Structure 1
């Protein structure tokens, strides 16, 4: 790889910690709740990991927070090929899917070897749509009997830096640093899935996932798998956990069906994709944001989470409300999962935006798998 295109979705992930479960159509609401931009910092982490390995690369990008700022922070002198018009008020955050697509088209016109994007599934869909559009144009040219230069299989690969709330696609590095390393070192690609879900349905507790594209992605161990949407029975696990509950402890229940089963066993109506706080038979906060969680915490605190199927993330995917500030208040973290899910995972992962905390969380940990059983698994 000699040339790279970098595009950042500045608003990606803003809705996570404030409890919106996504940012599509919710930017103003996220800001009213005090959300801060997450993607630019993650872009810098990825690009610094890249620059340590490949400082000589030619990097094309979009102006300002859509890429230029992070590229310069990593030590590159970028070639800016796209300028967003924003919303007309000059707010650099107010970029759209059309801006992302236009930037990617500009990269492809320059013949980049890889498109590195920063965002979530929605951004992945936008990038993939342009790559597929361009591949389709090449196929049309190659089918023209007068054309001899187009190669229908000459598709530009893409790689994501995870910054969104929901990440169901298998086109992302596990962490920003992983994405930077993979971009620097890959030597082959393979087809992987771009998935997206209906955010409005997601906020109501329903997952409606849809395959949106199949695109070439660098092959590496640090590329995460697609989110699996099914799992085994957790009835005995939920019963055992409920039996052992300490009503003088404050429990922060993360999202997902496994933790939801525990809440149901306690008589709680769970918010399936949100975070609930409970103590002594009382729900202190339901579907809570980071600030709402912190407001009601009373020590001792136990966080209860389940890893995402197919990926293994305990923190950093779908539960941004359980932020480093919340984790710091916890006396204990209870990880729960069915044996079937753990068999498919092998390891667990964390990506909290706090490198020191991630390092503290890594290592061997007990995962509760049933009424009486646990399994030792490594957080990497």
Structure 2
């Protein structure tokens, strides 16, 4: 099941229709002037795109007008993970709700609001969590919103169906509303969020598929090497894609084994599970790994040195999964697989995971159980 986090700022956009140039701090005034809340209506447009996929997702949301009322009315399976502290709801509720949903476990956070809401989400979300905004505010300067509520729903539907969807970093922007009400635009960057983006294939060279694939791999490994930091241990998994990274580093590689690299040199070669655990415990470590082409296994096939204890010691957020888009397409939408020998760990690893597919080019792909 796809785990969709969902938050609505029910006050978003209130000030626009009554000429207040925004909603920050003026919600009660806007309501007194006759403004009608539209954030849930715009959210409904987005969620309607997911109705045909009801059996493939569960929505984790917030009680009342911050999400639960809408998803219940549409008939989605859902869980309420946070209750607002006050009515009307506040920015503090948005931040607290986002943290609660992340703790509950989500694959993507879908939120409805404007730039102020995006700021709240940005402040609350860990770097590794992907989010997407449904535009519902008066001002949408941030790049984290879909172009329309319907577009937001369609993009999430692509993720739920397991299609290849790129991810990128997008700026969270906001303006000084008080200055804006005086006719002065003062925009400021408050951070960035990782967002899904419609996948676009850009052919950089006009040549045969094999040569093009080799160039893509060259770009991919060049990016990996450029991101490697001093005094960090890198566990190099087996397979030809990881071997290409080792070749870029100018290091001898154990194609069917696991090596450990630090500061541009081999620290340990063809290690056992026990040796590897000793090397990674208590040390900053990244795992560079690929998948078995055509099968999709990430763990449990040809890399048993990566034991459950080793994987736990390294941590899910420190896994660098690398593969070309062509390799992912061979799976024909099937999920990536973990067969570590520890069912609880395999469960913990499930969910969307970023896969590096080129030079600073990522897609989000599901790691989970096979469809039986």
TM-score (norm 2): 0.51
The root-mean-square deviation of aligned C-alpha atoms, in Å, is: 1.6
Contact 1:47 1:70 in 2 (8 A): no
Match of 2:69 in 1: 69
Q: Give the deviation of 1:62 after TM superposition.
A: 0.2
Match of 1:188 in 2: 166
Aligned pairs for 1:97-116 (under 5 A) are 97-116=91-110
Match of 1:126 in 2: 120
Separation of aligned partners in 2, 1:40 and 1:32: 19
Q: Quick one: structure 1 residues 166 and 221, their matched pair in 2 at CA, closer, same or farther if it must change by over 3 Å?
A: farther
Q: Give the deviation of 1:56 after TM superposition.
A: 2.1
Separation of aligned partners in 2, 1:31 and 1:73: 24
Contact 2:166 2:199 in 1 (8 A): no
* CA displacement, residues 13-59 of structure 1 (integer Å, 9 cap, x when unaligned): 01111111101010111011100101011111111112234542011
Match of 1:162 in 2: 135
Could you say what secondary structure the match of 1:84 adopts?
A: coil
Aligned pairs for 1:1-380 (under 5 A) are 2-53=2-53, 55-86=55-86, 91=87, 94-131=88-125, 134-135=126-127, 155-186=128-159, 187-220=165-198
Could you say what secondary structure the match of 1:188 adopts?
A: strand
Separation of aligned partners in 2, 1:33 and 1:77: 37
Q: Give the deviation of 1:221 after TM superposition.
A: 7.3
Could you say what secondary structure the match of 2:180 adopts?
A: helix
Separation of aligned partners in 1, 2:73 and 2:55: 13
Contact 2:54 2:76 in 1 (8 A): no
Contact 1:49 1:180 in 2 (8 A): yes
Q: Quick one: structure 1 residues 217 and 116, their matched pair in 2 at CA, closer, same or farther if it must change by over 3 Å?
A: same
Structure 1 segments, 4+ long, off by >6 Å, are none
Separation of aligned partners in 1, 2:129 and 2:10: 23
Aligned positions, number: 195
5+ residue gaps in structure 2? 160-164, 201-372
* CA displacement, residues 51-82 of structure 1 (integer Å, 9 cap, x when unaligned): 23454201100001000011123320210000
* CA displacement, residues 168-219 of structure 1 (integer Å, 9 cap, x when unaligned): 0111111111101111214331111110111111111111111111111001
Contact 1:193 1:211 in 2 (8 A): yes
Separation of aligned partners in 1, 2:55 and 2:91: 29
5+ residue gaps in structure 1? 136-154, 223-380
Separation of aligned partners in 2, 1:202 and 1:189: 32
* CA displacement, residues 117-167 of structure 1 (integer Å, 9 cap, x when unaligned): 000000011001111xx34xxxxxxxxxxxxxxxxxxx0111000000000
Q: Quick one: structure 1 residues 177 and 202, their matched pair in 2 at CA, closer, same or farther if it must change by over 3 Å?
A: same
TM-score (norm 1): 0.50
Contact 1:44 1:73 in 2 (8 A): no
Q: Quick one: structure 1 residues 198 and 221, their matched pair in 2 at CA, closer, same or farther if it must change by over 3 Å?
A: farther
User: Could you say which structure has the larger radius of gyration?
Assistant: 2
Could you say what secondary structure the match of 1:11 adopts?
A: coil
Separation of aligned partners in 1, 2:80 and 2:148: 26
Contact 2:131 2:195 in 1 (8 A): yes
Contact 2:15 2:21 in 1 (8 A): yes
Separation of aligned partners in 2, 1:46 and 1:70: 11
Separation of aligned partners in 2, 1:188 and 1:205: 38
Separation of aligned partners in 1, 2:199 and 2:112: 19
